[in-house]
Chain A
């Protein structure tokens, strides 16, 4: 028998037609689902519009009156009906959060009061108690956006959760509730604190009045590399001069990133011997850290650092480092332009670099 016949004995046209029929049925189901979904989405859109309009009316009334939310707040029947349903409740929470993001003071408090009055907190708490990570994270988000401080003790436990997103929301919530004192979670953090989360926390703290950070020296010595990095950023942002010694210690870290951030931080909390410390580690540092050292010296350096910078200019093969050294010379000394002009003599590369730096200085 021809082997192709064997093939067609197994793959018979009727098998193929049956499978094709299956594909057609699945396609039909998918297309129907698309239209059902589009219909539901449209319905949801109108529902959202309705909730938004009604809530806006309530909010406007409260804001115009500048009074506390009335105890006997009455919802019209239609809105009450919608808010008794799960999707209506979620839309209302989302809407209140969006509105609150743009408000402060009395207006924001009124939104929170409305959230509580409509019993929406229970919905957020239910999500917070869910074992599903994204529901829990969303619950935490809603609770801190609505400033539910009495949930702090329950949420704080999750600042070291093994789920990255639950952990991040819990940390954000605690800073939201307690400000700088909320940073105490850093002492027990055993998981990474991503750059994204660090930026988010710094931006959150930026809105608050700086407070004492008593545990900062401990965080700078943490075994968690991410905690050290964040502590260095805190020391830099809030110029925590008292931790200079701990920051200098970080220059001996195995981690290039920690050393990098420590150099940046030292630039902001510099003491008399800081440039000497930076110059001492320059030779053994990685390229990007060398760049940062030169940039810091440009900010905090003096005439005493010119010899070092001239050595860098003469010995470094990398043009970026030469450029940074020239910039630092211009900034460290009043005679910087003269020193640079002398260095550029008969050297076309330095001349071209000097022209660029002169332009930057004028700008």
Chain B
């Protein structure tokens, strides 16, 4: 048997087995998520959150919102956070050495003054310049911290050090939260009995083209922009199917950095956010889980399928590509940091299922697809492609993708039904038809660039441009 034949067989069988396993995982995730979502809806369909919003017995929460060059939208964003329904709340805005006038705007709008505050560096961070609180009792929940620039993870660690409450909710400052979002996020912590709830994740939805008024979402629309619309579908698939299934398995590895609640004591015990990775959100969850596994303490990471947090998705290929590049780097860095868990039975579901899944199907999927594509081009040039089989395989995989997307859209409609207009749903489903040919290959290319960045040891987050809700473009790094 020639070397070429061995290589060819290896590719054929290897990629086939890999693909079948991945598809089986998708089928399992899709079906397994149904039970969790159904259960959640049944459990919560007559919960009256109003009764608890003003209760003095609910646990205290600190919202941590790092801000870097958010001057264009910061006033509205903070107003939105201060208007949330929750009695026992502290809103901490961490100005991470912004170069714009974010801090000055905050000082003026919220009548802030420097206050003496003894800083306990429970987690090591960059220097804190000053802590501000408002002279106006209306804004008594607000704390603004000005610090030397150190990145998002460092800013969040400062927030943890400053926070005086039991639970922390880490969010992106420009996210729009539903009014009862905090009550829903804190509920799993209060329902714990035999297993400690260490974190709760919330669903993120795309706010592009939605109507926003006074920092509140008033009407949901499907994004007009193709890339944002495609991400809407992707988020529905990821949050309603993927994360719900993983939550049911108690194998969730990622809570989005845009919106997650954590038990502060466990976060501090784990050393807070790691500022040596661009995937600090995933890394923290993995580290917290690992900590609990090593302490042999029963625990759970919960997930809420309600659409509670709305964020602006990147609308240009440049920014979208950077985001995906960063996500890939974050995944690789996190998995590398915790490689001890790989197929390690000591870590139960985490080591035997979650980690291997992320390793094979999240981290390795882009290079495998990329290598497959290169091999396809070479084989096509050499004339060894069996085109009949190729077209059949392509049809098979593309139609499976359509079925999966349609199923995700169906789950969205029968659960939270955010896109109520028939035309919106039609647009979403038609957009899905283009995914295998435009959106997906671009995502794979961006991920490959993530690998390249990692090899070049590139550390920065990259520039992020946000349009702002009804605002002029804002540059973030």
Q: A27-B403, A34-B410, A194-B191 are in contact. Are A7 and B55 (CB under 8 A)?
A: no
Task: Check if B406 sits within 8 Å of A34, measured CB to CB.
Answer: yes
When the two chains form their complex, are residues A355 and B116 in contact, meaning their CB atoms are under 8 A apart?
A: yes
Taking the closest CB of chain A, its distance from the CB of B311, in whole angstroms, is 25
B57 touches A20 (CB 8 A): no
Q: Which chain A residues (178-198) contact chain B, with CB distance < 8 Å? A: 192, 194-196, 198
Number of B interface residues at 8 Å Cβ cutoff, please give it. 53
Give 1 or 0 for each of B378-401: 1 = CB within 8 Å of chain A CB: 000000001011011101101110
The contact size tier of chain A is: 35 or more
Q: Does A27 contact B52, Cβ atoms closer than 8 Å?
A: no
Query: Known contacts being A3-B9, A13-B392, is A199 close to B410, with CB within 8 Å?
Result: no
Q: Is the interface of B mostly helix, strand, loop or mixed?
A: helix
What does the 1/0 interface line of B162-205 toward A look like (CB < 8 Å)? 00000000000000000000000001011111000000000000
Decide: A34 and B57 in contact? CB cutoff 8 A: no
A residues within 8 A CB of B407?
A: 30
Q: Does B360 contact A (CB under 8 A)?
A: no
Q: Are the C-beta atoms of A319 and B118 separated by less than 8 Å?
A: yes
- State A264–B37 Cα separation when bound (angstroms): 38
B420 at the A interface (CB under 8 A): yes
B35-87 CB contacts (< 8 Å) to partner A: 42-43, 45-46, 48, 50-52, 55, 57-58
Set A23, A38, A356: member contacting B118, Cβ < 8 A: A356
CB-based contact B13/A16 at 8 Å: no
State whether the Cβ of A138 lies closer than 8 Å to any Cβ in chain B: yes
Question: Which residue in chain A gives the minimum CB-CB distance to B194?
Answer: A192
**Chain A-chain B contacts (Cβ-Cβ < 8 Å), number:** 133
- The interface residues of chain A, by DSSP majority, are classed as helix
Q: How far is the CB of B297 from chain A (nearest CB, A)?
A: 13
B386: A residues at CB distance < 8 A: 8
Across the interface, name the chain A residue whose C-beta is closest to B421.
A38
Residue A128, interface by CB 8 Å: no
A165 at the interface (CB under 8 A from B): yes
A195-B190 in contact (CB<8A): yes
One of A8, A38, A194 near B420 (C-beta < 8 A): A38
| Residue ranges of A at the interface with B (Cβ–Cβ < 8 Å) | 2-4, 7-8, 11, 13-14, 16-17, 19-20, 23-24, 26-27, 30-31, 33-35, 37-38, 41, 101, 134, 137-138, 141, 165, 192, 194-196, 198-200, 202-204, 233, 288, 319-320, 323, 349, 352-353, 355-356, 358-359
Q: List 7 A-B contacts (CB under 8 A).
A: A7-B12, A8-B389, A16-B396, A196-B190, A202-B57, A233-B57, A355-B116
Q: Which 10 A-B residue pairs are closest in the complex by CB-CB distance?
A: A13-B392, A355-B116, A16-B392, A196-B190, A23-B399, A134-B42, A195-B190, A30-B406, A192-B193, A20-B399
